[in-house]
């Protein structure tokens, strides 16, 4: 089956949802935030509202150290798409890097500027 018409998206408003609201609020305050499940202790980055392991509601947040590592990556059109993970946390952050060589395990530092997150290679 193939879509044959145009799909208009200009008139719609998209929201972050409750879970990512805390994540972007933290970025706007210059912080990396994670959710912590008080029942099983699992920590998630970016923030979540329910624990994927025990399915309980998550209400607690903590600030995350700005040092992460490249878990995996792919190269395309002189750019690199990386998945950055943080020790002790489930999940991760996708980010685009340009003009750099990366390896799995490369250390990166989170840089937050005007609510926007990017990563700097640390060698």
| Measured distance CA(123)–CA(120) in Å, rounded | 10
Q: Which long-range contacts (CB under 8 A, 24 or more apart) does 35-40 make?
A: 35/60, 35/61, 36/60, 36/61, 36/62
Q: Bigger pLDDT: 32 or 7? A: 32
What pLDDT digit, counting tens, does each position of 34-73 carry?
A: 999 999 999 999 999 999 999 999 999 999 999 999 999 9
Q: Which two tokens stand for residue 13?
A: 């408003």
Span 84-114, pLDDT tens digits: 999 999 999 999 988 788 999 999 999 999 9
Domain definitions of the chain by residue range: 17-122
Against a cut of 0.85, is the pTM above it? no
**Do residues 116 and 36 touch, judged by C-beta distance below 8 A?**
no
CB–CB of 81/74 below 8 Å? Answer: yes
Cβ atoms of 88 and 79 within 8 Å: the answer is: no
């Amino acid at each position: 089956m193939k879509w044959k018409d145009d799909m208009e998206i200009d008139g719609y408003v998209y929201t972050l949802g409750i879970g990512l609201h805390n994540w972007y609020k933290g970025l706007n305050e210059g912080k990396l935030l994670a959710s912590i499940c008080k029942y099983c202790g699992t920590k998630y980055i970016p923030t979540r509202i329910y624990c994927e392991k025990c399915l309980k509601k998550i209400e607690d947040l903590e600030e995350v150290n700005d040092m992460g590592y490249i878990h995996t990556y792919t190269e395309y059109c002189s750019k690199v798409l990386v998945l950055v993970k943080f020790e002790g946390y489930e999940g991760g952050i996708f980010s685009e890097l340009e003009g750099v060589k990366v390896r799995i395990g490369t250390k990166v530092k989170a840089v937050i500027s005007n609510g926007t997150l990017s990563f700097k290679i640390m060698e």
